[in-house]
Structure 1
Amino acid sequence: MQEFLTFLKKHPVVYVTRDIERAMGLSFDTPGYFIISNSTPFAKFISQGRKNILLIESEHLLPTFDLLQREETESFLKNIASNGPNPSLLVFKPTSQIERICTQNTWKLLNPLVSLSSTIEEKISQIDWLGPLEYLLPPHCVDTLENLDFEIPFILQFNTSHTGTGTQCISDIKQLNALKQTFPKRPVRALKYISGPTFTSNNVVSKENIFLGNISYQITGISPFTNNPFATIGNDFDFANRFLTDTQKQKFFDIAKKVGEKLQQDGWLGAYGIDVIVDKETQELYLLEVNARQPASVPFESLLQKEKTSLEMPLTIFEAHLMSLLDFSIPYQSIIPLTKGAQIILRDAEIHFDAQKLLSWKNQLESLGYTVIDTPNTEDGTELLRIRTKHGSFISHEEKLNDEGERIKKIFE
């Protein structure tokens, strides 16, 4: 690990992000690691005036593209370059706008090309991209809505979505016909409805290796944390470890590796995530999603891993992500394993942003021993609070909160 820290000093990286939590996979005291983010109470608290962190003041939270356009950002980057090599930039999720502004300013962007990530993530192009791996998906078809004929109930997905916003469960013909009338020419992906729990993992592709991350249960659609039945609201490593059999875990890793090998063939570097569902009836595993980017739970997984760092296996998922993007030869074969830990997220949905309420809830939750990260988001579906436990769990069985989870839920009711 010391070799990489020495390398980073000579090849500085600036993580530009709307939400500073996305950059918390590496210690803020790491030489050569810089951050540009919005100035929020949480960001101010954890940055503690560090010179390697630029917090930009604004009336509202600025997206990454807007942060890159600020004069403070340009000055910050010039100052880093004046004291050493030009820094490389890293963002949470790149866009064509971000790529364009980096090109205009001759800033090196470490993230893989948007054209590739979009092909992989978008629901329709993903099927062609998977090619011979298409069989990993549930039974499915692609068609325009006006021509779609699929056995009800089924899952309908528009080409692009985020945290469940482009996904619907079609349960009757009236619901389908209403969509056909509204969007007759729109292409969609239809998948067989499968009842069962969903699990996820964060993984990393380097030039030499594929690092398979830890499996967590994907907490989804529980009120009052969200009003969207398909919205992801957390991860539970403890429940995944208890629920899945050794055979199912191995099959999950086989899917993750096959996807990673395909990414590697296409020149991908860095983190990617997969979502996998377990069929309640057959116990078969099916691939649901491929997230071609740093998944949102990478910093949390990395923080849990730091608690277990050993000389034999010191690598976290974020460190593997950053090393791969920098084309640093990783001297390890695997990352730190986890069997405990969970987080649950309160989204702006049934409950809307209210600064006083959020502060009150945060204080209550922290008094119970949880780590709480607050974000002053005001848009529907965005994160308000992240509630974390390092050693516990929030799930007793599928879609059912345990006593700890219920205790948190009652605070919001």
Structure 2
Amino acid sequence: MKNWPGLFIKYPLFFVSPDIKRGLGLEDLLPDFHLICSYYDSLIPVLRRNKVKILCLQESADKPENIINNSGSLLSKSPVLNYIRSNSGKIPAVAFFKPSLKIDFLLKKYKFIKVGNNYEQNEKFENKIKFLQIFSKLIPDYLTPFTIEKLHDLEFSCLAAKFKLPFVIQFGHGWAGKTTFFISGESSFNKLKNTFPQTTVKVSRYINGFTVLNNCCLYKDKVLVSPPALQINGFSKLSSRQYVTCGRQWPLIPFEKSTVSDIFKLSQKIGRIMNKSGFKGYFGLDFLIEGNSGRLYVSEINGRLTAASAFYAKLERGKDLIPLLAYHYASFLGIDLPVEEISPLISGSQVIIRNLQTDKKINLNLNGVYQISGKKIEYQFDDYRPQDLKENQFIYHQEKIIKTDSEISRIESLRQALSSPFKLSPWLVTLLA
């Protein structure tokens, strides 16, 4: 069905996020779609050339250092409300990346259509502690043994005896692995315990393996599931922190049909459980695959749009598929879309560079599309359309504002970034050298 974007014509849709990249995917495809962001990004003029409608607060801010870093606060600002109201003759629909109580309050107050779950639904599944409390009896064979306690009630000797060293401590909330701690000795445990004594944590056995993820969407009575992707982490060239997420790659390698089948079945089962609670739309799952045994564990649920949802939508569009992101919007707007039952064959990589020294070595002066042939790299043009990339091309994008441990630049390609879970592909090694 080629004309499905026209079904959204009735709804002026505004995606509100400090970072404009969170709202990408369908920005140039839906008929009345608007991006509202805080920070200026060099993608903005590129997107505007492609007729994308954008409000960026930093473009008119007197004091850039006061730019908002929170979607709820962004939504409350008068320039944002004025823009939404002046660009919607009908009741506007507002989409967002991560739910919050403030977003719930404001959308109810302004009587805007909410395109996303409320905070309570998100917290029920995304909080790692609450996730275990719900699913420990439903999928026990796919969860690592764990303990849940406040840190001040835990003793290192007991945990070391139960889980062996190293063991893993996780907070209920975190982003890109930044609140996951690998404890190999008593000093690191005591430092964490003394810093966060009242924090309730999950403690579990360390799994020597790699992380796999997927994107899913609850649309009406169906659980739509993407093929699994390999999470990129553990490379010092990308980040000084070993376990911080630095991207993802489709397809999954190594490719075991039984593992892919188990991931699909688990995703369906978890999705049905979430659906019964009233959750709908986008969510993502993280899995651990143990290196020696190949055993599969469910790690966590991201009960919202994921870090991969925008890029994955571009890859889907490159295959002429209706993206999961479209089903997410449609599930909250009551739009009927045809459901394609064939599992798509998706290939592409998104690499996040968080190591400043590596980014300096790349020595690419311009954002945009490059062509790589062996060790020869040539700039092509400034555009952002991952769905139209050729096999020997990639997009390089450097952030304008850089924060500690955050994204410095990214590389997007239809090529595989990894030749194995622990080895970068030769073309990427050449680029990062």
Secondary structure at the aligned position of 1:338 is classed as coil
Could you tell me whether the CA contact under 8 Å between 1:227 and 1:350 is conserved in 2? no
| Aligned pairs for 1:60-209 within 5 A | 60=65, 62-63=68-69, 64-82=71-89, 85-135=90-140, 136-148=142-154, 149-150=158-159, 151=163, 152-209=165-222
Give the match for residue 407 of structure 2.
Answer: 383
Secondary structure at the aligned position of 1:383 is classed as coil
**Residue 337 in 1 paired to residue 348 in 2?**
no
**Residue 406 in 1 paired to residue 412 in 2?**
no
Instruction: Name structure 2 gaps, 5 residues minimum.
Output: 372-376, 379-392
Q: Which amino acid aligns with 1:370?
A: F
Deviation at 1:73, TM superposition (A): 1.7
Could you tell me whether the CA contact under 8 Å between 2:211 and 2:231 is conserved in 1? yes
Comparing 185-194 with 48-57, greater Cα deviation is found at: 48-57
Cα distance change on mapping 1:255 and 1:196 into 2, 3 Å: same
**Cα distance in structure 2, aligned partners of 1:27 and 1:317:** 14
Give the match for residue 384 of structure 2.
Answer: none
CA deviation vs aligned residue, 1:32-83 (integer Å, no higher than 9, x gap): 222222432211222228473323324255332343233332222112233x
CA deviation vs aligned residue, 1:149-208 (integer Å, no higher than 9, x gap): 322221110122111111011112332233334433432101111111111001101222
CA deviation vs aligned residue, 1:341-399 (integer Å, no higher than 9, x gap): 1110112x555999x99862747966453112333233223222120112x11111122
Cα distance change on mapping 1:283 and 1:399 into 2, 3 Å: same
Secondary structure at the aligned position of 1:283 is classed as coil
**Residue 288 in 1 paired to residue 299 in 2?**
yes
Could you tell me whether the CA contact under 8 Å between 2:168 and 2:181 is conserved in 1? yes
Could you tell me whether the CA contact under 8 Å between 2:358 and 2:432 is conserved in 1? no
**Cα distance in structure 2, aligned partners of 1:208 and 1:333:** 14
Comparing 145-154 with 222-231, greater Cα deviation is found at: 145-154
Could you tell me whether the CA contact under 8 Å between 1:36 and 1:55 is conserved in 2? yes
Give the match for residue 381 of structure 2.
Answer: none
Could you tell me whether the CA contact under 8 Å between 2:171 and 2:200 is conserved in 1? yes
Secondary structure at the aligned position of 1:220 is classed as coil
Could you tell me whether the CA contact under 8 Å between 1:345 and 1:386 is conserved in 2? yes
**Cα distance in structure 1, aligned partners of 2:144 and 2:255:** 19
| TM-score normalised by structure 1 residue count | 0.88
**Residue 55 in 1 paired to residue 56 in 2?**
yes
Count of residue pairs the alignment pairs up: 399
The structure 1 residue matched to 2:261, chosen from 240, 250, 255, is 250
**Cα distance in structure 2, aligned partners of 1:46 and 1:277:** 36
Give the match for residue 304 of structure 1.
Answer: 315
Secondary structure at the aligned position of 1:34 is classed as strand
CA deviation vs aligned residue, 1:89-127 (integer Å, no higher than 9, x gap): 001112222222323323222210111211211121111
Q: Which amino acid aligns with 2:183?
A: I
| Aligned pairs for 1:30-49 within 5 A | 30-37=30-37, 38-48=39-49
Deviation at 1:255, TM superposition (A): 1.6
**Cα distance in structure 2, aligned partners of 1:383 and 1:351:** 13
| TM-score normalised by structure 2 residue count | 0.85
Give the match for residue 22 of structure 2.
Answer: 22
Give the match for residue 12 of structure 1.
Answer: 12
Comparing 372-381 with 118-127, greater Cα deviation is found at: 372-381
CA deviation vs aligned residue, 1:309-356 (integer Å, no higher than 9, x gap): 1xxxx3212112222222323321437613421110112x555999x9
Deviation at 1:256, TM superposition (A): 1.2
Secondary structure at the aligned position of 1:232 is classed as coil
Deviation at 1:27, TM superposition (A): 4.3
Could you tell me whether the CA contact under 8 Å between 2:398 and 2:409 is conserved in 1? yes
Cα distance change on mapping 1:402 and 1:358 into 2, 3 Å: closer
Cα distance change on mapping 1:336 and 1:22 into 2, 3 Å: farther
Q: Which amino acid aligns with 1:117?
A: N
Give the match for residue 396 of structure 1.
Answer: 419
Secondary structure at the aligned position of 1:243 is classed as coil
**Cα distance in structure 2, aligned partners of 1:54 and 1:303:** 22
The structure 1 residue matched to 2:395, chosen from 371, 374, 386, is 371
**Cα distance in structure 2, aligned partners of 1:296 and 1:211:** 18
Instruction: Name structure 1 gaps, 5 residues minimum.
Output: none
**Residue 215 in 1 paired to residue 220 in 2?**
no
Deviation at 1:131, TM superposition (A): 4.7
Secondary structure at the aligned position of 2:262 is classed as helix
Aligned Cα root-mean-square deviation (Å): 2.6
Could you tell me whether the CA contact under 8 Å between 1:211 and 1:335 is conserved in 2? no
